[in-house]
Every structure is written in C-alpha cells, then in structure tokens.
Amino acid sequence: MDTERDFLFFNERIATKYNPFYEGEYLVIQSYPREHKLMVEHRTFDYKNAKSHCELENLAHDYTSFSLRIFHDDKLWEVNYKGEPQSISKQQNWRIAQEYLEAHYDPHTDAEMVVCQCSYPYFSSLTTHISNSGESRTSWQSLTCLVRDLGRDIQTCPNCNASLVRADESEDDNFDFDFDFDFDDQVSRPIVCIGCANYHGVEYGDNVLVCGIHPNGWDSENCPDYHP
C-alpha cells in the first residue's frame, strides 16, 4: 500500500491540469448530489480496493451517493463485474472556462453555473430580446462553458439531451427548471433509475412498481436495461 500511495502522489505531482487521471485508474466519485466539478473521493489502481471503498462510502452516507469509475481513453467509464471498462460514464471531468467561473461568482451579474441531471455544467444568464410584437422580453439563455466548447447557445444538454429550458418565468424571477422530469420524483428514485425512460415508480397498495422490466428495481449500480 505504501508503494501505491507513493506512486499516486508522484502521479498527482506530475499530472497536468488537462489530464489529472491515468489510464486504468479507478475513481470513487460523488455521483449525487452533483457539483460543478468532479468530486473524487478515492483513487487507486486496485479494483477490489476501489469497489470496497465505494460500498463503504455509500453505507456511511444517507444523502450522498458514490459510484465507481475507471479512467480509460481519456474519459471516465462505468465498470463491469470484472472491473473492466463497460460504457462511457455520464459523469466526466468537465473543465469550465475561467471567464464563466468568474461570472458565476460575480455578485453583480445575473448569471450562474447550473448542473444538469447528468452532471454536465452549463452557464445560464438573463438576456433581453425583442419579440415579434415589438415587446421587450427577458429570459434565461443557456450556453456551453467548457474550455473546449464555450459560448454555444443550447436548449438541450450536449451530454444527455435533457431539456434545459426554464419553463415557468415571472417578473419577480420566481421560476422552475424544466428538465423533462419532476425534480422531487427524481430525488426519490433509486440512483440507478435517475434519468431512465423505463422508470414507472407508481405505488400499488404497499408496493412500488419500479419498472416493467425490473418490478422491484435493479440491485446494483449499472442496470443493463437503462434507457435515457
């Protein structure tokens, strides 16, 4: 273990800000609640160690969820039961352009960083435009803000295709987000079911039908029938 810690420390010292992880490295990440940046709880090259650490973290926290990923081909991947890359993770190490971070923390701007249901960060700002009737209207505009993709006007998430349109706007800025799903419903869903089109979640008597494929839900992290 000392050798592994020394190796990881050395890697962290020489890592560039563009590639902080290494091929074959396992990461235990915070998958809920989502943050502007990737929250890495544990790093190792030992699959059993990573899996055990992830399970312990989930047992120790009631309102925070952790997931196991592997860094492969410059991206985070979900892993199969052997610890091998299985599918590209919706969570990635998103790099936000500095100017958008500064605008987010500037108290004098009507703008903010928002995190999509899949962990993708984007920039939301108040903009004014003239309608066809000649009336001035203020609305929220969503823009990409990553180092490699910034300033592009978007209405759906480039990562998971969820709608980013704020549906209920009013003059006093009381609004709701429309992600094509009910937020309270998503919070109550099993983590593995968040964003899945197959989710049903209706209570019949004392039982909840999770979905038609897996009535009682899926008991591990990666459901083979997940459909975004």
CB neighbours of residue 2 within 10 Å: 6
Confidence of residue 203 (pLDDT cuts 50, 70, 90): confident
- List the Cα angle 156/160/162 in 5-degree steps: 40
C-beta of residue 85 within 8 angstroms of C-beta of residue 95: no
What would the pLDDT profile of 40-54 be if each residue is shown by its tens digit?
Answer: 999 999 999 999 999
* Beta-strand runs (E) in the chain: 26-32, 40-44, 65-72, 75-79, 85-88, 111-115, 121-130, 136-146, 149-153, 199-204, 207-211
pLDDT tops 80 at residue 63:
yes
- Percent of the chain whose predicted confidence (pLDDT) is above 70: 78
Cβ within 8 Å of residue 165, ≥6 positions away: 142, 155, 178
Over the chain, what is the mean pLDDT?
79
Predicted pLDDT at 180: 42
- List the Cα angle 155/101/153 in 5-degree steps: 20
d(CA 127, CA 178): 18
Confidence of residue 228 (pLDDT cuts 50, 70, 90): low
Predicted pLDDT at 169: 45
Decide: pTM greater than 0.75.
no
Predicted pLDDT at 167: 52
Beta bridge partners of 113: 123
Dihedral sign from CA coordinates of 225, 58, 93, 162: positive
- List the Cα angle 123/185/121 in 5-degree steps: 15
Predicted pLDDT at 194: 72
Predicted pLDDT at 20: 81
Arithmetic mean of pLDDT, 119-123: 92
Arithmetic mean of pLDDT, 34-63: 92
- 146 or 209, which is more confident: 146
